[in-house]
Amino acid sequence: MTISEKKENSENRVIMYREALNEAIMEEMKNDDTVFVMGEGVAERGGSYKVTAGLLDEFGKKRVIDTPISEASFTGAGVGAAITGMRPIVEILFIDFTVLIMDQIVNQAAKYKFMTGGKGRVPIVVRTQGGSGNGLAAQHSQSLEAWFYHIPGLKVVMPSTPYDAKGLLKSAIRDDDPVMFIEHKLLYMKKGEVPESEYFIELGRGEIKRKGKDITIISWSNMIPRSLSAAERLAEEGIDVEVIDPRTLVPLDRKLIMDSVKKTRNAVIVQEAVRRGGVASDIASIIQEEAFESLDAPVAIVAGKNTPIPFNLRLEKASIPQEKDIILAVKKTLNFKIG
């Protein structure tokens, strides 16, 4: 089937982000016997965030596998299974724990296609969740997408809505390259419209979440709802903001970003991750190289503080971008243009 986005001819329901992910996995497991799920607590408990609820009853223990608490071993097993023709979905409970699977993902999965002269493939999806929220402290609250963004051979997906989550996960499962599918702990209970009919979202195809003419905000994951909220408040002051969601960081929809920036002539990039060495800095450099003459002001970046995430809820909130920070960055960028 052609990987394409299909919004038309479907009556949309309103379901949760986690339910959309569950439907994607369920549909792909029914479609393809080589798809299976493995991870800590994914079978009997249905996953800590209930994304895999009901899969064990539907597909049995051979295709929904509870693993020991040993990320390196079961991720390695997943990589091996993918190389031999299976399509594993490996769940890592927190993105913080991906430090334990770096050799399997970075040195093995990401490089296998290159080292086999394009003959080999590793169709594995590593599902994990990152970001702060709920006071889970420094070892369970990081935003580490830049680690994987940096590695040639990996694809990186970060959906912000239930609709995007389902369509992107279905495409990721069918993709022949290793995909890091990064969810956000605060999005699982968020609701949104999702068609009942089957649809896919092409990896590398971003979306304009809000049209505007004065300035472009580029953000992803849980920073999208925050950016949209900031845009609505700015609209009350006569500032028309366009919000771009790349949806996948690798491949990156550079054309969508450039077209928007060239139209609005101003850009703010918002990421939850710490600023140092972040994806936002790379996107800013791309804009500077490809759209410098279109800019009326320097590209602004709103990012997390360069600190481990505190356990204290007030300090946690202070360490990552809030709506007011986005609003301030937009106003400063536009004021720079004026004066």
| Gap between the Cα atoms of 99 and 302, Å rounded | 26
> Using the 8-state DSSP alphabet, how is residue 310 labeled?
P
Q: Contact 277/306 with Cβ under 8 angstroms?
A: no
Name the phi and psi angles at 125, rounded to 5: -115, 120
Place of tokens 């759209």: 291
- Beta strand residue intervals within 99-175, DSSP E: 125-130, 155-157
The three-point CA angle 46-48-19 to 5° equals 60
- Beta strand residue intervals within the chain, DSSP E: 12-16, 35-39, 64-66, 87-92, 125-130, 155-157, 179-184, 191-195, 207-210, 215-219, 241-245, 248-250, 267-274, 300-304
Q: 231: closest CA among 335, 338, 323?
A: 323
What is the set of active-site residues? 71, 140
Q: 91: closest CA among 28, 153, 48, 32?
A: 48
Tokens representing 143 are: 């935003």
